[in-house]
């Protein structure tokens, strides 16, 4: 809690809350109700309304015309664009109120574009970006970029797509293998034989595929809007090949992030342990073949990006 001299309130604003952080600014015609909490160094622009059951972190920007209703949490360093619209009741009726409002969480570093609409009870992940005018009906993964109505993932922050076919070139120490900017992630060109009878692509475990496989699985018939993966493994290696169609693969080591387009059956990508992997933008005919170094073990999965980042930091 700060004293009045620690933050600025415009003479034409109404700030009823005493829980306002140091160096925050509340501009003209904004209205903050008594129960709201606002962190330090925030910027609350003209005509913003903030209800009671609201928690807002530090260094948050709320541009003009935003209303933040009961049940909304906004973490540190979030940008909320002009006239972005929050909702907190899926089935609103006049003078009929739910017992509790669904909790909507905007995670640290996320940005919401102008005039977007956020449905109740969802989470916008760390550093995610919501495009202007998007209607977000489901939770958005960390670092994802979503646009449209309903909002769909079109990319990931700091992960410009590149064709694996263009990237894979012979490496002097391992022919057909190319390092990437993501730690220990490598692209592979598998052996291919083509003649009048057709084409054949082959790989050998512990040679062209850099581990012995104990399991494989196929992913197919994926709706193009769906995202798979969104996890890391503690000890399991994976090797991915799009045997038909195309799939976008994002690899993230906690510091560097890169996106690859697998679209030929003689291309593969090796995702070692402690690599956050995402697969999305499946073509309608896509079939993704995945070799795994270990049998399925639920305990080997890291499904929370915050936990993944924490473990990476612990590893140094």
Both structure tokens of 56: 């807002």
d(C-alpha 68, C-alpha 84), whole Å: 9
Give the gyration radius of the chain's Cα atoms. 24
Query: How many whole angstroms separate alpha carbon 225 and alpha carbon 243?
Result: 20
| 233 tagged catalytic | no
Distance in angstroms (rounded) separating the CA atoms of residues 162 and 174: 21
SS3 label, residue 306: helix
**Cβ atoms < 10 Å from Cβ of 219:** 17
Cβ atoms of 231 and 300 within 8 Å: the answer is no
Place of tokens 């057709």: 198
Give the distance from CA 169 to its chain's centroid.
30
Task: Give the H/E segment covering residue 14.
Answer: strand 14-15
Q: Which of 12, 231, 233, 294 is flagged as catalytic?
A: 231
> How does DSSP assign 243-286, residue by residue?
EES-EEEEEE-SS-EEEEEE-STTEEEEE-TT-EEEEE---TT-
Positions marked catalytic: 231
């Amino acid at each position: 809690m700060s004293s009045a001299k620690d933050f600025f309130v415009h003479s034409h604003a109404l700030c009823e809350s005493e829980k306002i952080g140091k160096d925050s600014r509340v501009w003209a015609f904004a209205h903050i109700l008594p129960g709201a909490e606002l962190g330090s160094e925030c910027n609350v622009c003209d005509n913003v309304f903030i209800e009671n059951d609201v928690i807002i972190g530090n260094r948050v920007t709320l541009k003009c015309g935003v209303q933040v209703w009961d049940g909304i949490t906004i973490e540190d360093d979030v940008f909320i664009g002009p006239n972005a619209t929050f909702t907190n009741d899926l089935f609103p009726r006049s003078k009929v109120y739910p017992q509790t409002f669904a909790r909507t969480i905007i995670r640290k570093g996320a940005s919401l574009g102008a005039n977007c609409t956020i449905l109740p009870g969802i989470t916008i992940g760390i550093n995610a970006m919501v495009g202007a005018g998007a209607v977000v009906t489901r939770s958005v993964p960390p670092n994802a970029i979503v646009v449209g109505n309903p909002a769909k993932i079109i990319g990931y922050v700091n992960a410009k797509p590149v064709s694996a076919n263009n990237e894979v070139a012979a490496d002097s120490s391992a022919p057909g293998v190319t390092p990437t900017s993501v730690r220990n992630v490598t692209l592979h060109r598998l052996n291919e034989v083509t003649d009048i009878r057709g084409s054949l692509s082959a790989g050998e475990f512990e040679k062209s595929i850099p581990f012995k496989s104990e399991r494989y699985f196929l992913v197919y018939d994926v709706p193009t809007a769906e995202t798979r993966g969104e996890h890391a493994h503690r000890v399991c290696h994976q090797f991915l090949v799009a045997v038909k169609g195309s799939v976008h693969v994002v690899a993230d080591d906690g510091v560097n992030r890169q996106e690859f387009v697998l679209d030929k059956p003689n291309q593969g990508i090796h995702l070692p342990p402690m690599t956050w992997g995402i697969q999305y933008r499946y073509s309608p005919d896509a079939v993704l073949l995945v070799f795994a170094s270990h049998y399925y073990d639920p305990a080997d999965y890291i499904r929370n990006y915050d936990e993944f980042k924490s473990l990476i930091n612990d590893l140094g």
